[in-house]
Amino acid sequence: MMRALTLLLLLGQLFIGRAALAHEMSMAELNLREMAPGEFLWQWGANDKRTPADELMPIWPESCRADGNALHCGAAGLKGSLEIQGVGKRFSAALVKVFWLDGQSRVYTLTAGQPTAQLFGSASDQRSLGEIASAYTALGIEHILTGIDHQLFVVGLLFLVGFNRKLLWTITAFTVAHSVTLACSALGLLTLHSAPVEATIALSIVLVAGEALHREPTLARRFPALVAFLFGLVHGLGFAGALQEIGLPEQHLPGALFTFNVGVEIGQLFTVAVAWGLWYAARYWPRLALARTATVYGIGIIAAYWSWERAAAIFS
């Protein structure tokens, strides 16, 4: 019993302390603004948690010369390869936002797997579909693996359903639902304020944790795929909020949206695989199975804390 309580306290300290980070990816933002033809001002975006300049270093195209926060590119313009050294360590990705003199803008996403971007001297985006697919798949994986609330919901479903045939339909229903709302929101067909969405996501975890503690055949236990589908619609809006921060390329937009969702699914399947490994190990160490109730209570307590915090944010 004491071990279970200790585990519960450790979970609370770990996850409640990260409540504000549940949906945030460790993004750095680099802003470039063209002031005159070939002349730019650059600066890192504000970040309350850490300073990107201490961790990341931009390597400008060969035709450009940096002088403090001024960037001189001459007649060739901002054209060539831009690299961000250090991305993938403390910052999972860097968003490079270029604001051109004619009012147009362009966003480039750099990750550890793709730390460079080709700039073409104008707002045109000539990245290949392969480059975009690679970057957005990695970002989707990053989001689900750092999105603690999404992971807790998936783990809650596993406790609710168990590793049986129902699990396949439950995970499929969750996938279909969040894919639909992610696409609709990313394409501008559905818009909701983030605060109610975040609060509802937290409440969904509370409900699933509560149902996982029941032994009698409640509605959620009899039809877990229905519960997963309904709440999956809301979780898709949470994914869309992260995707809005990243931005979608006008060219190959469907490909970027699809591969981001693929990345989310890869991260989700990884979570299920790890949970299955622990469940399988519990067959050989029965005492490990005793932590089930304490873990489910821990998930519920953490999610309840998030619910109060996020509900308060709606009216603040």
pLDDT at position 41 is 93
- Across 23-62, b (16+ Cβ under 10 Å) vs e yields bebbbbbbbbbbeeebbbebebeeeeeeebeebbebebbe
pLDDT at position 14 is 40
Write the DSSP symbol of residue 138.
Answer: H
The candidate with the shortest Cα–Cα distance to 86, out of 55, 45, 110, is: 55
Segments of the chain scoring below 70 in pLDDT: 1-25, 46-50, 122-127, 245-247, 250, 286, 288-289
Q: Each residue of 211-242: pLDDT tens digit?
A: 888 877 788 888 889 999 999 999 888 888 77
Q: Considering all CA atoms of the chain, what is the largest pairwise distance in Å, rounded to the nearest integer?
A: 74
pLDDT at position 276 is 87
Q: Where are the domains of the chain?
A: 2-23+147-315, 27-127
Q: Two tokens at 79?
A: 């054209």
pLDDT at position 125 is 60
The candidate with the shortest Cα–Cα distance to 57, out of 72, 42, 47, 46, is: 42
Q: Two tokens at 179?
A: 């894919």
Q: Two tokens at 183?
A: 């696409």
pLDDT at position 245 is 67
pLDDT at position 124 is 61
The residues facing 97 across adjacent strands are 31, 107
